[in-house]
Amino acid sequence: MRVSLLLFILSVSCSLFAQCPEMIWQDEFEGTSLDLSKWSFETGDACNLPQTCGWGNNELQWYRSENTTVNEGTLKITAKRETASNRLYTSSRIRTINKGDWTYGRFEALIKLPKGKGLWPAFWMLPTEDKYGSWPQSGEIDIMELIGQEPATAHGTIHYGNLPPLNRSSGESYILNSEEGTFNDNFHQFAIEWEEGEIRWIIDDYLYSTKSKSDVAPLRWPFDHDFHLLLNVAVGGNWPGNPDASTVFPQNMEVDYVRVYNGYKPYLSGNRKVSNQAKGMQYQVKNVPENATVHWVVTGDANITEGQSTENIVVDWGSESGEVSVSVDSDCGTQEISLKVMVESAFGKEYSLENFDDPARLSLDRFTGSFDDAVSNPAPNEVNNSDLVGKYSRNSSESFDILAYNISDFENAAPFLVEEKRFFLDVYTDAPEGTLILLQLENKNLSTATNYPRGRHSRFEAYTSKQNEWERLEFRFLDQPDNTVPDNSINQMILLFASNTRTSNTYYFDNFDTYGPQTIVSVEEKLKPGQFLFSISPNPIQHTFSLKNLSDEIINRIDWIDLSGKYLKGMDVELLPGQTTRLSKSNFASGLYLMKVWTTSGKSQNKKILISGN
């Protein structure tokens, strides 16, 4: 094995971009037991090792070989609620150490993941030898991790740095769009492409994260020596927390295959979520072999405006979600890749807060820079051709330079928190592209010691993308620093240009507007046959609310989750198709939550819910 590995490393270093990547290791799990020439078991709770009891994460399971089975073409690692030794849960953990060890290549597996609070499945890599010292000095590569209470979110991470507590990590997450369900519903392919100085994370042939030496500098990049593969399902631990009454056991991580290549395969990149009527969105296929032919297809009401038959296309989207698909045909064979793209609902103008040409709903309160509330438009264009605009020059001596307006007839902030309504603003500035502009909703009469200036209800953010040119900015919800401020008590709106800096740029602005859904369409009218969906009314919730089953299945469970992904409470229900039930907000405090609803077949969907303090 060591000789073959040396040959592999030499071949990779010479031909990482070989025309056709060769599969140099695989397990298709076609037998009736684990192939022990490729895998080894790790058992117990690691309490026999120094400082690793509970596998270093306060995990609750006892690993044993019996919880790994192979049948019907897949590997199954099963987590169970049962006693073994002094542990209340059992599971399994397998690895390829000294049987499959590699430096660089493509590593992929097709996996269907478990769900439930406290479950922690992973497909990952550890160094075969501690070349630079103990964990994490020699590195760790997490190809895929998931915590069971967030079954639609997968994570890819590297660990490096010094010994704990000075260890470091860097990673990204991939969240399935609502119509794609969860990672428990279907098999998904999880992969990394690892080359000298860079690692790329790919799900279903879509690139979602890249890490390189610059991301860990000035610390050591330890990913330049042999690593081996691991598969396991942990129960409990520092990250997922412990299981509770809502966690169903047994749960399986089911693996269709694990494969290792000495080169790289085509993958897609581009936006998976776009605004309604988004124009000029770019999509790219990478790792295309020489002399390959490329053909693109888009669905919905999208159109390819540039790049057909090339590696890069430009797409104009309409109002429908759809797919971007590419076919790459070469001497290596034909690879088909499809990417689901979600188009957001259309928004239209509701009313103007301030546009400098008409009477305003806002009245100027105070400012820390220099402000003229009606000056000539410096450079009219198709985005803004108004005669008069506002001009604000930032005070460079103020880190949190503010422009504050009073408002007396702002009805309710709640729809803005769940993004059923949004704020827009035209901006022309000499500030660099990517400058942050914050909008804060306040109640200036409520005294809250921990917030500024008095009662800071919520914050919204937008970033510039142009310099010395008008653009229309959309503010997106950032956070709610004080959820004790009633949603219907907003009497002040504050703009902070380049917050927490000491810059002195000038900002022309205009058409400070609110937007809402352009066309009101009932949830029922949006449904397609068999599509799982539910409705909640009202939202925001004050005391009770109605939950209606709009699917063709039975809804059997509701979970409440906070915005950090922490499971809060669950309840079993039985709601037949078309039925409505009345529920209470229970004892939840005011604020934003996620409500996740499950059907008997295991499908799930979540919605952002606001509990009002009124």
What one-letter code names the amino acid at 97? I
Strand pairing category for 61-63 and 87-91:
parallel
H-helix or E-strand spanning residue 607: strand 604-611
Specify the pLDDT at position 16: 38
SS3 content of the chain, % helix, strand, coil (to 5): 5, 50, 45
Alpha-carbon span 239 to 1, nearest angstrom: 36
**pLDDT tens figures, 515-548:** 887 643 333 333 343 455 787 877 777 677 778 8
Q: Which residue has the higher pLDDT, 600 or 253?
A: 253
For 504, the token pair is 């002195």
In the chain, what is the greatest distance between 2 CA atoms, to the nearest angstrom?
A: 80
Phi, psi of 253 (to 5 degrees): -100, 120
CA-to-CA dists, residue 7 to 330, 399, 520, 577, angstroms: 26, 58, 64, 60
Any residues with CB less than 8 A from the CB of 3 and at least 6 apart, and which? none
What does the pLDDT look like over 33-74, one tens digit per residue?
999 999 999 999 999 887 789 999 999 999 999 999 999 999
Amino acid present at 120: W
End-to-end CA, the chain: 68
What was the pLDDT predicted at 18? 45
Cα(259)–Cα(96) distance, integer angstroms: 12
Asked if 606 and 535 touch (Cβ cutoff 8 Å), the reply is no
Q: Can you give the pLDDT at residue 561?
A: 79
In whole angstroms, give the CA distance from residue 139 to residue 212: 13
Chain position carrying tokens 């979110």: 153
140 given a catalytic annotation? yes
User: Which pLDDT band holds residue 362 (cuts at 50, 70, 90)?
Assistant: very high
- Check if the beta carbon of residue 124 is closer than 8 Å to that of residue 143: yes
Its sign, for the CA torsion 414, 418, 420, 426, is positive
Residue 365 neighbours by CB under 8 Å, 6+ apart: 404, 405, 406, 444, 492
Kindly report the CATH class assigned to 270-343. mainly beta
Task: Encode 209-244 in three state secondary structure.
Answer: EEEEHHHHCCCCCCCCCCEEEEEEEEECCCCCCCCC
The string of DSSP codes covering 59-105 is --EEE-GGGEEEETTEEEEEEEEEEETTEEEEE-EEE-TTTSEESSE
pLDDT at 450: 45
CA distance 186 to 552: 19
Contact between 197 and 211 (Cβ < 8 Å): no
**Separation in Å, CA 462 to CA 267, 347, 444, 466:** 30, 17, 23, 12
CB 130 within 8 Å of CB 98: no
pLDDT of residue 51: 78
User: Average pLDDT of the chain?
Assistant: 88
Is a pLDDT exceeding 80 seen at residue 9?
no
The pLDDT confidence band at residue 19, using thresholds 50, 70 and 90, is low
2-261 carries CATH number 3.20.20.70: no
Mean pLDDT along residues 342-353:
83
Q: Catalytic: which of 22, 28, 108, 140?
A: 140
- CATH topology agreement for domains 2-261 and 349-517: yes
Q: Which two tokens stand for residue 498?
A: 């380049």
Question: 94-98, 210-214, 257-261, 515-519: which range is least confident on average?
Answer: 515-519
Residues 6+ apart with CB under 8 A from 596: 558, 559, 560, 561, 604, 605, 606
- For the segment 313-338, the average pLDDT, to the nearest whole number, is 94
The full length of the chain comes to: 614
Q: Would you say 285 and 49 are in contact if contact means Cβ atoms under 8 Å apart? A: no
Cis peptide before 165 (omega within 30 of 0): yes
Residue pair 252/92 in contact (Cβ under 8 Å)? The answer is: no
- Is the confidence at residue 2, as pLDDT, over 50? no
What pLDDT sits at residue 5? 43
Catalytic site includes residue 145:
yes
β-bridge mates for residue 508, sequence order = 391, 428
pLDDT at 566: 67
Higher pLDDT, 448 or 20: 20
Q: What's the pLDDT at 525?
A: 33
> pLDDT exceeding 90 applies to what percent of the chain?
65
Q: Report helix, strand or coil for 405.
A: strand
pLDDT of amino acid 564: 58
Say how many C-beta atoms besides its own lie within 10 A of residue 576's C-beta: 10
DSSP string, 453-489: SSEEEEEEEEE---SSS-EEEEEEEEE-S-TTS-TT-
pLDDT in tens, 228-250: 999 999 999 999 999 999 999 99
* Confidence (pLDDT) at 553: 86
For residue 156, pLDDT over 90 is answered with: yes
Three-state DSSP at 366 gives strand
Element (H, E) at 415: helix 414-417
Kindly name the residue from 108, 145, 150, 442 that is annotated as catalytic: 145
Are 537 and 546 in contact by the 8 Å Cβ rule? The answer is yes
Q: Which CATH number fits domain 523-611: 3.40.50.300, 2.60.40.1930, 1.10.3720.10, 2.60.40.1760?
A: 2.60.40.1930
H-helix segments, 275-412: none
Secondary structure (3-state) at 271: coil
**Cis peptide leading into 243, omega within 30 of 0?**
no
Domain ranges for the chain, please list them. Answer: 2-261, 270-343, 349-517, 523-611
Instruction: Give pTM, 2 decimals.
Output: 0.67
Q: What sign for the dihedral angle of Cα 190, 193, 199, 205? A: negative
pLDDT tens, 99-144? 999 999 999 999 999 999 999 999 999 999 999 999 999 999 999 9
pLDDT greater than 50 at residue 266: yes
Q: Please give the CATH number for the structural domain made up of 349-517.
A: 2.60.120.430
% of the chain exceeding 70 in pLDDT: 91
Query: In the structure, what pLDDT confidence band is assigned to residue 415 with cuts at 50, 70 and 90?
Result: confident
Amino acid at 220: R
Q: What is the pLDDT of residue 228?
A: 98
* Distance separating alpha carbons of residues 307 and 315, to the nearest angstrom: 9
Helix ranges (DSSP H) in 471-597: 523-526
The mean per-residue pLDDT over the stretch 548-554 comes to: 84
